Amino acid sequence: MSRSTRLTRAGLAVAASALLLSACTGPKASGPDPTGGPVGDVSAGPLRIAVISHGTPGDSFWNVVKNGAEAAGKELGVTVEYNSDGDPAGQAKLVDNAVAQRVGGLVVSMANPDALRESVSRAVRAGIPVITVNSGEARSAEFGAIAHIGQNEAVAGEAAGKRLKTEGKRKLLCVIHEAGNIGLNQRCEGAKQGFGEASNLQVDISNPTDAQARIKGALQSDPAIDAVLTLNSQVAGNTVSAISESGSKAEVATFDLNADVVAAIKAGQVLFAVDQQQYLQGYLPVSFLKLYRDNANVVGGGRPVLTGPNLVDKSTVDTVGKYAERGTR
Amino acid sequence: MTTATLDERVGTKGLADRLVARPELGSVLGALVVLLFFSVLTDQFLTPLGVATWLDDSATLGIMAVAVALLMIGGEFDLSAGVMTASTALVTAILATKLGWNVWLAVLASLVFALAVGALNGWLVMRTGLPSFIVTLGTFLALQGLNLGVTRLVTGSVQVSGMRAADGYESAGFVFASTVDIGGTSFQISIVWWIGAAVVASWLLMRTRFGNWIFAVGGAAPSARAVGVPVMRTKILLFMTTAFAAWLVGTINILRFTTVQANQGIGLEFQFIIAAVIGGCLLTGGFGSAVGAAIGALIFGMARQGIVFARWDSDWFQLFLGVMLLAAVLVNNTFRRRAERVRK
């Protein structure tokens, strides 16, 4: 027997015995999860909170959330660490990482709740208070989170659809900019509920040129479309350009604000923006977790704390616009 | 030529020279540096829970990196490998949740699908003579479209979930997604699969005739063919190995996270290649190691989670990762050049 094979065999033997000595645990099938952790560490001292979102780095929407969380951290003397990963498995690992660091509180957005189930329950079991934000409202309590802060996507979509209907629109195009995002689909479904007839269009947010061309193509191929609902401020800008290029009579409404959308609302190119005030989704959980630790307060009473929808149109755009520029709206 | 010197091919070399000639040496040193760096910098990096976190992150990446390393040593790329991890998970999830198949049956069907795509990749590359970069780019795009199109068609949504309620979930989950409790800390079973993949691939590469074929077809395919190496069969098998690894990772993911998103996996193919390159594989083929690739993945996982442990602002995350990868590759390169000198 050569030396290397002997070494391999010895290594395998050690690994096998380690496996035998340790207990294996399989994942559980459907069933109730441990919920409602005990009140966490009530001791005073510095509080550290991990905010873990599913946004991709550099996303303008999540930048506002991050700003909100950091502002609350500064005001309340709480250390806030923001991390994000668009891949659900990667996000779950970031949650595990936060648990390994024994953070004092966890804020997590659950665009893909099932993928985070194990990791979030592990945090709850470790006595870390969890608040879910933005998405995952339906599963938040089940996983043992103490509160959910966000905007109900379907409700927001419905509000947008209804408003477009009252504006006298007849045919709606709903533009989805991220293929895998279930929340965006819910918004379009909600819009359909509130509006009536609507069709969806899939574009890729990472390629604005292509997105604009596709929206233009959709408008040209169906001149009956007189309203476009975009779910992202950047896509709203693309749509405004697409409309002027194609000579369509459609009008735009959008989710989320940025400086361009503010300008477009002022100029009358965009009817209104559904603002979910995501700054609050960063700011509130940090203050809620601080209150939870220092005063055992729980907010919402099992119901989500809604940050929106708040429709921003010509009448309110001047005030809100200022804040969008500084990255807090 | 006055004295009867030993032929250099049968001469013995010193330990240092032999070490330097190993392709994985650079990655081992790199891994030690990263490990030391974050252990000193942060308190939690070396705690059992911390170790479990970065091993977990390295494991699935490592399984893929090992297979991709074999393929790269064989002189080919597979750009469809990242999306393939999502495709296999989607096939399993759709069969199990929408058609009510037993999870084991669904997993098996997904394996057949993966091997078929792998074989198709290999066959197309060999038959057309096109670079595998182009052929697998085509499969990458095709799979991406299939993932989204089929998922929306079947479920009306962009993610498939509900695996937990499917028949056979518990036993399949035990094999692919359980945790091993060591001293009160749970380690993911994927770590065992990762180590297994590295051991099997190393054995294949170093101890079998097939391993020699891999080096031969990656080093110089025409000469390999001339001496009787079945080039086509070897390369097709290598593509199927990558597809198999993608199936394994897809299965681990779907059983652990019980849900899969139609746009998952995109971009991961580059991480696999990067891990293999850090591990000492040459982009031009014919040189590299499976253990090295597994360690390359370890470096990636340690760095990715270490940065979070170090509580650095995540805005700078990719910059650090990029600089570190470049450094690792440069160190590797230096060692490889020394290694080539030693070999001459």
ipTM higher than 0.90? no
- pLDDT: which is higher, B310 or B110: B110
A9 contact residues in B (CB cutoff 8 A): none
Q: Is pLDDT of A122 > 50?
A: yes
The whole-number average pLDDT for the span B69-92 is 96
Q: What is the mean pLDDT of chain B?
A: 89
**From A36-40, A324-328, B176-180, the region with the lowest mean pLDDT:** A36-40
With an 8 Å Cβ cutoff, are A82 and B257 in contact?
Answer: no
The whole-number average pLDDT for the span B312-335 is 80
A313-323 burial, b if ≥16 CB within 10 A, otherwise e? eeeebeebbee
DSSP single-letter state for residue A200: E
The whole-number average pLDDT for the span B49-78 is 95
Q: Is pLDDT of B3 > 70?
A: no
Q: What pLDDT does B79 receive?
A: 97
Q: What is the mean pLDDT of chain A?
A: 86
Strand pairing category for A78-84 and A105-109: unpaired
Q: Is pLDDT of B199 > 90?
A: yes
pLDDT per position as a tens digit, A151-210: 988 899 999 999 999 999 999 999 998 876 778 888 999 999 999 988 889 888 777 788
**From A130-134, A202-206, B60-64, the region with the lowest mean pLDDT:** A202-206
pLDDT per position as a tens digit, A16-46: 554 444 556 666 665 444 444 444 444 567 9
Q: What pLDDT does A29 receive?
A: 62
Strand pairing category for A172-176 and B185-188: unpaired
pLDDT per position as a tens digit, B264-285: 888 899 999 999 988 888 888 8
Instruction: Kindly indicate the confidence band of residue A56, based on its pLDDT and cuts at 50, 70 and 90.
Output: confident
Helices and strands, number each (H, E), in chain A = 12, 13
How many other C-beta atoms lie within 10 A of the C-beta of residue A267?
10
The whole-number average pLDDT for the span B67-92 is 96
Nearest to B170 among A22, A26, A117 (CB): A26
Q: Which three-class secondary structure state does DSSP give residue B180?
A: strand
pLDDT per position as a tens digit, B147-169: 988 988 888 777 888 898 899 99
Nearest to A185 among B158, B165, B171 (CB): B158
CA distance B32 to B39: 10
Q: What pLDDT does B284 receive?
A: 87
Contacts of A73 by beta carbon, 8 Å cutoff, 6+ apart: A49, A79, A80, A286
Q: What pLDDT does B119 receive?
A: 97
Q: Is pLDDT of B316 > 80?
A: yes
Instruction: Kindly indicate the confidence band of residue A87, based on its pLDDT and cuts at 50, 70 and 90.
Output: confident
Query: What is the number of CB-based contacts under 8 A between chain A and chain B?
Result: 135
Q: What pLDDT does A182 receive?
A: 78
Instruction: Kindly indicate the confidence band of residue B29, based on its pLDDT and cuts at 50, 70 and 90.
Output: confident
A109 and A134 Cβ atoms separated by less than 8 Å: yes
Q: What pLDDT does B262 receive?
A: 85
Binding-face residues of A in 45-84 toward B, CB within 8 A:
57, 81-84
Instruction: Kindly indicate the confidence band of residue A220, based on its pLDDT and cuts at 50, 70 and 90.
Output: confident
pLDDT per position as a tens digit, A283-308: 999 999 999 999 999 999 889 999 98
The whole-number average pLDDT for the span A132-161 is 93
Highest mean pLDDT among A9-23, A267-281, B13-27: A267-281
Instruction: Kindly indicate the confidence band of residue B56, based on its pLDDT and cuts at 50, 70 and 90.
Output: very high
Helix pair angle (B209-219, B190-207), 10° resolution: 80
With an 8 Å Cβ cutoff, are B263 and A97 in contact?
Answer: no
- Torsions phi, psi for A39 (to 5 deg): -60, 130
With an 8 Å Cβ cutoff, are B180 and A19 in contact?
Answer: yes
% of chain A at pLDDT higher than 70: 86
The whole-number average pLDDT for the span A224-237 is 91
B276 and B299 Cβ atoms separated by less than 8 Å: no
With an 8 Å Cβ cutoff, are B264 and A87 in contact?
Answer: yes
Is A1 an 8 Å CB contact of chain B?
no
Q: What pLDDT does B4 receive?
A: 52
A228 and A251 Cβ atoms separated by less than 8 Å: yes
B79-118 burial, b if ≥16 CB within 10 A, otherwise e? bbbbbbbbbbbbbbbbbbbeeebbbbbbbebbbebbbebb
CA distance A147 to A156: 20
